[in-house]
Structure formats: structure tokens, C-alpha cells
Amino acid sequence: MKALIAARAIITRELARFVTQRERFFAALVRPLVWLFVFAAGFRAALGLSIIPPYKTYISYETYIVPGLCGMILLFSGMQSSLSLVNDRESGTMRLMLTAPWPRWFLLGAKLLAGAMVGLLQVAIFLVIAWGYGLKFSLIGYLAALPALALAGIMLGALGLFLSARIRQLENFAGVMNFVIFPMFFLSTALYPLWKMQESSPLLATLCEINPFTHAVELVRFALYGQMNLAALGWTVLAFALFFGLALLGYEPARTRSR
């Protein structure tokens, strides 16, 4: 019961911070909506996308990139949550939280869960807007996508948590975010299928295949069509375990004191 109270306090604080930061909320929606309404038309004309394996069905390019844009929201949300961690560490709030009588994995896990919930809220609003635009999926697809989105959000949040453990100053985090976010997003299947990338450059296709963001997007994409991608599920879970383990090492007390 005490553990639930502690976790609720951490999650409530993160949600309250998100609610008060309205600019962050609108910025999180503007990015995917610009891609959906503006850039999608040019990409559709350039790629001539009409049949997307493995679904073997005619879908629009806008429908194809919806899972990728959901991943974009989760990626930026995870990085923004990590940015708040760097700020909390500079202000001393993070040190106060880590001195609580709870295991370090529990405290960081609660922080990670709070960031994932914020990302899921943003994705839900984006999917409602996409539904109003005519990009609809089945009810089963939406229900199946919920755990896939949650897992993807936790994995990307763990990546941000790992980066926040390695960055000392808030000023350096913006550069690192751009260095991580844009390569992960563009070297993935968020905007174009992997077979298109293989036709263009086998090297870039290989980079897309080893990109954990690719597997998170494919996990969500298959779920929206009511399918299970076991390979994407396995790689996403493995990436989460790796990033979260590295984050725990980064926030280990001896390492923090040595800095």
C-alpha cells in the first residue's frame, strides 16, 4: 500500500506538470499533424504507395504513417520527460526522490510509467483527430494497439531515462535529443516501408532493421490491424530491458557521487 502511494505521488506530479505546460501539449500534436496533413501529400506522390505488405490491402499513405506518427509522439514525449529529469537533478528534486526508502528501480520505474502515461494521452488525442480526418481502424485494432503503444512508450522512455543519466547539464540535452530523435525517426519504417528502403539503399535498410524505433512502430502498426508481430515484440522488450538496465547503472549512487 505504501508503495502504491509513493508511485501515485510520482505519477501525479508528472501528470500535473504536463497539464500545466500547455505549450508542451500543443507542440506534441503539431508535429505529427503537420506530417499528416502537409508532408504526407508529397510523400505519397513521390513513393506511389498503394499496397503495403504484409497486409495485402489497398490503404492510403496517410493511413500507413499513422502508427509511425504515434511513435513520433511517444519518442518526443519520452525525451521531454527525460529533459524534466535533468532539470530535477539540477534543482535537487531528483536527489530528494532517490533518497526515499524505496528501491532505485521502483522509483525510476514509476517515473518511467508516468512519462509513458503522458505519451499515451497525447497519442489518444492524435488518434481521435486522425479518426475525424477519415483515417479509421477497427475497434479490435484500437484495443490491440493499446498495450503495444504502452510498451513502445515505456521502451522509448527508458531510452530517454538512460540519456538523462549520462547528461550532466540541461544545456547539453537539446543537442543530444536532436542527435538521437531525428536519426531514429527517419531511419525507421515510420514514413516508408522497409522494402522501399531496400530498393533505395541496402545499407540504410540494415540501419532501419537494427533501429529499436522501427520495431516499436511495427509492433503498433500490426496491432492496429489486429495482428501480432512477435519479432517486433521481442526486440522492443529487449531494447527496453537494455535501456532501463543502463539507466539504473547511470543512476547508481556511487556513479552519481563520482560526477
CA atoms within 13 A on the CB side of 6: 16
> What pLDDT does residue 235 have?
95
The answer to whether the beta carbons of residues 119 and 90 sit under 8 Å apart is: no
Going by C-alpha positions, the residue among 139, 143, 24 that lies closest to residue 81 is 24
Task: Say how many Å lie between the first and final Cα of the chain, rounded.
Answer: 35
Model pLDDT, residue 152: 94
Strand partners, 51: 58
For residue 248, pLDDT over 80 is answered with yes
- What global pTM score does this model have? 0.83
pLDDT higher than 80, residue 202:
yes
| Mean pLDDT, rounded, for 53-59 | 54
Alpha-carbon torsion (20, 28, 236, 232), positive or negative: positive
Best-predicted range by mean pLDDT (1-15, 170-184, 190-204): 190-204
Rg (CA), the chain: 19
pLDDT score of 49:
54
Q: What number of CA atoms fall less than 13 Å from residue 113's CA on the CB side?
A: 14
| Average pLDDT over every residue of 89-116 | 74
Decide: residue 72, CB within 10 A, 0-12 exposed, 13-18 middle, 19+ buried: buried
List all residues 6 or more positions away from 80 whose beta carbon is below 8 Å from its beta carbon. 24, 28
Task: Calculate mean pLDDT across residues 13-37.
Answer: 74
- Whether 75 and 213 have beta carbons less than 8 Å apart is answered as yes
Closest by Cα among 157, 197, 162 to 76: 157
156 pLDDT exceeds 50? yes
For residue range 128-152, list pLDDT tens digits in order. Answer: 999 988 888 889 999 999 999 999 9
Confidence band of 256 (pLDDT split at 50, 70, 90): very low
Three-state SS across the chain?
CHHHHHHHHHHHHHHHHHHHCHHHHHHHHHHHHHHHHHHHHHHHHHHCCCECCCCCCECCHHHHHHHHHHHHHHHHHHHHHHHHHHHHHHHCHHHHHHCCCCCHHHHHHHHHHHHHHHHHHHHHHHHHHHHHHCCCCCHHHHHHHHHHHHHHHHHHHHHHHHHHHHCCCHHHHHHHHHHHHHHHHHCCCCCCCHHHHHHHCHHHHHHHHHCHHHHHHHHHHHHHCCCCCHHHHHHHHHHHHHHHHHHHHHCCHHHHHHC
pLDDT surpasses 50 at 259:
no
Q: Are 120 and 150 in contact (CB under 8 A)?
A: yes
Q: For 108-144, what is the HEC assignment?
A: HHHHHHHHHHHHHHHHHHHHHHHHHHCCCCCHHHHHH
What average pLDDT does the segment 197-220 reach? 88
